[in-house]
Chain A
Amino acid sequence: MQLIPCPFCGARPEDEFHYRGDASVKRPAPDAGEQAFYDYVYTRANPRSWHTEWWRHFAGCRQWLKVERNTLTHEVGAAVSPAETLPHTPA
């Protein structure tokens, strides 16, 4: 049971959140073409290490959070609001 450090609510267990996936993918400009949208929806790096991802605190503040998490060790770095930059991307 991972703890997500919600910046508004504090560290909360993961079952209070919905996980959406890779937060490094940005919705393309409307005229970017089919390949760009295909990659946006389907293509993922799926790293076996640090991963920037979306979690939504649906059972708490209902805010979307950008979270740094290591997919191999499950270590969680920081969690910030969508507009903020994460403090650092660990090696």
Chain B
Amino acid sequence: MSGHRLPRGGFIDRSRRLAFRFDGKVLEGHPGDTLASALIANGVTLVGRSFKYHRPRGILTAGPEEPNALVELGEEGRTEPNTKATEVELFDGLVARSQNRWPSLAFDLGAVNGLAGKMISAGFYYKTFMWPAAFWEKVYEPLIRRAAGLGRATYAPDPDVYEAMNDHCDVLVVGGGPAGFATARAAGSAGARVILCERESLLGGGLLLDPALEGWRSDMIAALEAIPEVTILKRTNVFGYYDHNCLGAVEKLSDGPLGEGEIRQRYHVIRPKQVVLATGATERLIAFPDNDRPGVMMAGAALVYLRRFGVAPGRRAVVFTNNDSAYAAARALKDAGLERVAVVDARGKGQEAGGLDVRLACEVMGFDGRRVALHRRGGGGNAEAIEADLLCVSGGWNPNVDLASQSGAKTAWGAELACPIPGVPVQAERSAGAARGVFGIGAAARDGLAAGREAARLAGFPTDADFPLPKDDPPALALVPLWEVRGRGKSFVDLQHDVTTDDIRLAHREGFSHIEHAKRYTTHNMATDQGKIGGLVGAAILAEARGERPEAVGLPTFRPYTAPVAFGAFAGRATGDRFEPIRRTALHDWHVGHDAVMQRAGAWMRPFYYPKAGEDAWTAILREARMVRSGVGVCDVSTLGKIDLQGPDAVVFLDRLYANTMSTLPVGRARYGLMLREDGIVFDDGTVTRLGPEHFLVTTTTGEAEAVLEHMEFHAQTVWPELDLQFCSVTDEWAQMSVAGPRSRDTLTKAVAGLALSNASFPFVAAGEGTIGEVPVRLFRISFSGELAYEVAAPSGFAEQIWEAILRAGREFGIAPYGLEAMDVLRIEKGHPAGQELGGFTTAADLGLGRLVKKSGDFVGRILAGRPALIDPRRPRLTGIRPVDKAQRLRGGAHLVAEPGSLDSLGHVTSVTRSVELEQWIGLALLEEAESWRDKRVWAVSPLHEERVEVVVTSPCFVDPENARVRA
């Protein structure tokens, strides 16, 4: 309990107080604090329990690399688990809870896992939970599920509003530190459009850590804000670098309460001409026993808390380092009035002491929250202890190469820094400042200026822009690599996933020696901090185990996202009804106004049935189907794909696309059309109507309309470009209505003028034009239901008018609309294949349509349809089934077997319905050797549902097999 607020300093507003809750306790902070800095200011040391071992943990860092301080923020729909306290801007009323502990943070029963430490090392679950086999489902899996994970997600919908934007600019600068500032100002003053993204709420990066630089920081911000073509996006993290210079970023507008219509986060897709990555560097840890205890903190983070937040993380500090950078933190701790500050420097030579207690050539070997244990490197001499409640660690600095690497550039090895640095760019990008290993404020700014000039020049804005820069004090880090101090106890390389150095060595012993294998075997780098502080250390441990150098081992591939992104940000406004575009037919409002139950079928809203008062679904559906079979009904089938095709070569084209012949189709007739894929499988079915010698109308199923059009365009544009024809989609231009039933002719005779509809004048599959009212309509005598039927096509703008005219004409015959469900009842009774049968795995012969396939003439699919496996007579064929016991239901997807209990599937049930013709359930199925099973019995079984139904195998056509009704 030793963190405390300093009397002065920090970019916080000390005149205002913010109240917040952590684990129920009310605490105070200031505007400008993060949750982490406010917790430290209140002396909170324990903030969470680790993933596997439930070890107590404190705040380790001041940024997105934080592995420990994960809290659950917010309530109900706004609950955000696994939020890093270091990234949350404090607001009044903030509520946060620690995670992964029960019953409390201080007393967590899960800590008992630590006792089993050796048994739950990396990969333990590959070797356990196997016996007895029955225990997996009943015991182990439920237990693991409860124990796994850190935070809990909410089940409530997210009430916040998110937005998406597309941005274009000449130069994108990622990072608002000294290098980023110089880049943006150089390019901006040259006239380029610049976007500067800074992930923090304050601009400045390393400039925030030295009061002497505040003047330059303010000057640069003022200069940038004065350039109209420079856009500064704060709180904006660029998370990914994609193809062709496309980058993604998320701008966080607020973590706190929002006003009406205010936006939580904005997702940016940025397409710049040139990119400068001024992303800085992240400090890495050193592995030593108990390097995860509360009180351990990265040295650079300690400096951030002191200078940016005016908070001291402890009262007695030890700074353990292998490089010069940590001395700045040590001096700042001393200046802040800490009781003592000691530096444990692993190197033989350190920096100017200046009042610090410096132990050279020593290393830390343990920490228990009160004392730091150290000894001389090389082992000579006794161990020593220094009393401290704060242990700052610096193992070096890794340039943040994530984005450069994602862009496709390989990394190189920076020998002086002992870490990867950006390699040669492959896209229009370059890194500047600490992001490419140039450390020191002045040097970084100089580097940024050069990068800004270069980027602007390449974007078409040559410039020799210049402006004052901070003094050039390039500090060499003088780093001596130190990855691990060996000793008894757990030395962590990944704190969030509880991965230790021993785990890395275990992975190598077990054969998972490639870095990508070791990563997945140990889960190292796979937590929400993505291995930012320990990834390289783990790779170095692996290298040592392999007897190689770290650069030979490499790091796992960098992939988006550089930091976690909320799904809401990607969804933007496209949620709920806006998730996908909704297509409505021209009759949509009529259906809704007449109480149709509307459902989505693909992108379309379609009427499924029109229930009368008091009717449940099946009652309405069966009533509608009965009405069609006994009288007349009308159905909106406007969603079918319709393609208008014209030209001298239209007929040749159709012959080549369809398995059956179209060139023999007379003018004024329609024909069922079967289209195959080039591999011989049925692609789609529909109709072709010849409206004129060189004029055709093609229809497709609703679901395949776009695919069929694409198929036709591919063949017309690339395969047979010499053919003279034109076509286009007219799906939305024509509303189409199916008028079906024994009284359909009577109905249409009353409604339609200018077209004789007797059976002699307008036989089955005739097509013609007439008018209803004064509106020109087309009629097609085709039937999906198996009854006497016609399809009426009306220009969409007149759809309601035509529909109502048909309803008026049919009223005396009992006409009423029928929906998709009744249509399905009817077509299943008739044995017409639809989506479930045309699933991309059946042939024409499977569907009983082999006789339609023409014997000569080229068409798509002809050759490969003749392959032995596709003409095998034992293939499952379309057949009908009905339960022996008329009271039993059928289930689609059930398998057909010869005996109950047999696991030899003979086929499966594709479509099922209650039948009006037979007054029981019926189905269509695909069954091997269907003909030999005709009139015999098989079983339709679904082991998942523990169902078995004995069925009789019948013809797939349950209604009017002679087709007398459709030809009446």
A→B interface (CB under 8 Å): 1-3, 13, 18, 20, 23, 27, 30, 33-34, 37-38, 40-42, 54, 56, 58, 62-64, 73-74, 76, 82-83
Contacts and interface: CB of A to CB of B under 8 A. Distances in A.
Interface string B683-726: 00000000000000000000000100010011001110100000
A33 B718 contact: no
B678 A37 contact: yes
Interface in B864-888: 864, 866-867
B721 A3 contact: no
Nearest to B408: A73
Nearest to B866: A34
A58 B706 CA distance: 9
Interface string B239-253: 000111010000000
Nearest 8 CB-CB pairings of A with B: A30-B858, A82-B718, A37-B863, A1-B246, A2-B243, A64-B717, A3-B244, A74-B243
Contacts of A73: 408, 426
B242 to A, nearest CB: 5
Contact of B679 (A23, A33, A41, A64): A41
A27 B862 CA distance: 13
B244 A2 contact: yes
A2 B245 CA distance: 9
Given A1-B243, A2-B243, A37 B864 contact: yes
Contacts of B667: none
A74 B244 contact: yes
Interface string B832-870: 000000000000000000000000001000111011000
B747 to A, nearest CB: 39
Contact of B242 (A1, A62, A83): A1
B418 interface: no
B714 A20 contact: yes
A74 B406 CA distance: 13
Contacts of A37: 678, 863-864
Contacts of A42: 679
A3 B244 CA distance: 7
Task: Give the interface size class of chain B.
Answer: 20 to 34
Contacts of B706: 58
A64 B244 contact: no
B242 A40 contact: no
B477 interface: no
B872 to A, nearest CB: 16
B169 interface: no
B244 A34 contact: no
A63 to B, nearest CB: 7
Interface string B486-507: 0000000000000000000000
A85 B878 CA distance: 47
11 contacts: A1-B269, A2-B243, A3-B244, A20-B714, A41-B678, A42-B679, A56-B713, A63-B717, A64-B718, A74-B408, A82-B718
A64 B863 contact: no
B710 A34 contact: no
Most buried by B among A13, A42, A63: A13
Contacts of B717: 63-64, 82
A21 B246 CA distance: 23
Contacts of B714: 20, 54, 56, 64
B864 A58 contact: no
A34 B867 contact: yes
B583 to A, nearest CB: 15
A62 B246 CA distance: 24
A38 B269 CA distance: 42
Nearest to B707: A18
Contacts of B863: 30, 33-34, 37
A62 B244 contact: no
A56 B408 CA distance: 27
Contacts of B721: 82-83
Contacts of A38: 864
Given A34-B866, A73-B426, 6 more contacts: A1-B243, A3-B243, A34-B867, A38-B864, A41-B864, A82-B717
Nearest to A35: B863
A62 B713 contact: yes
Given A41-B678, A62-B713, A54 B243 contact: no
